[in-house]
Amino acid sequence: MVGKDLYVIVCAAGPAGDVGRLVALAQDEGWTVQIVATPSALDFVDVPALEAQTGRPVRSRYRKPSEPKPSRADAIVAAPASFNTVNKFAQGIADTYALGLLAEAPGLGIPVVVLPFVNGALAGRAPFRRSVDQLRSEGVQVLPGDGEFYPQPADFPWHLALRHL
Ligand SMILES: Cc1cc2nc3c(=O)[nH]c(=O)nc-3n(C[C@H](O)[C@H](O)[C@H](O)COP(=O)(O)O)c2cc1C
């Protein structure tokens, strides 16, 4: 996989500020990492630090029509994935650049791993459970598993995302 592009989609959820840990793990495995933050997640992450780490601009909005098309992802990890983005992804909503990438990925055959960080009050909601089932039925890997969507931020299992690619 050396040199392949891994898109890391980061949402506005608890562990977002530590996404550099996932970047380091991925780079150790030979991935070139592109960070895509949701607009809300920009308040959670250190953009200059991530740009220095990846050597690429953090992207958070759709390009203008006049701007060049970026290279296609070879794989996508959404981590941490918020309640909001998981539900929108399942419904086919594409109103952020991150969701636009996710919306197309299953149809393009791009592997997608989603690592939600959602508290117990939200993880038990019927819409969220339906979203997880829907995404899995389309081949999206939603981790870690039933009933385990709300670890403490410090315990967030970044390493699982790469293991399941
Ligand atoms: C400090 C703070 C922490 C939050 N933590 C979480 C979280 O851990 N998980 C989650 O699903 N939403 C969390 N939210 C709510 C999301 O940020 C909110 O739903 C937002 O609209 C998500 O946008 P996005 O999915 O485009 O990133 C948090 C909000 C704030 C202000």
Sketch out the chain's domains with CATH numbers: 5-61+71-163 (3.40.50.1950)
13 lines ligand 1 (CB under 6 A): yes
Q: For a pocket test of ligand 1, which of 9, 59, 60, 83 has the largest count of ligand atoms closer than 8 A to its C-beta?
A: 83
Predicted structure pTM score: 0.96
Q: Whose C-alpha lies nearest to ligand 1, atom 26?
A: 38
Q: Could you give the percent of the chain with pLDDT greater than 70?
A: 96
Lowest mean pLDDT segment, chosen from 59-68, 84-93, 153-162: 153-162
Å from CA of 82 to ligand 1 middle: 6
DSSP letter for 3, please: T
pLDDT surpasses 70 at 86 = yes
Residue-wise pLDDT tens digits, 106-116: 999 999 999 99
Residue 17 clears pLDDT 90, i.e. is over it: yes
Mean residue pLDDT of the chain comes to 93
Nearest residue to 22 (alpha-carbon basis) of 31, 119, 89: 31
How far apart are the C-alpha atoms of 72 and 52, rounded to whole Å?
21
pLDDT surpasses 50 at 83: yes
Round to whole Å and give the CA distance between 126 and 65. 38
Structure token pair of residue 149: 């969507």
Helix (H, G, I), strand (E, B) or coil at 22: helix
Q: What is the mean pLDDT of residues 31-37?
A: 98
82 Cβ closer than 6 Å to some ligand 1 atom = yes
Question: How far, in Å, is the centroid of ligand 1 from the Cα of 18?
Answer: 15
**What is the reported pLDDT for 1?**
47
Which residues, other chains included, contact 128 with Cβ-Cβ below 8 Å and sequence gap of 6+?
Answer: 83, 86, 87, 118, 122, 149
Q: Which of 80-89, 120-129, 144-153 has the lowest mean pLDDT?
A: 144-153
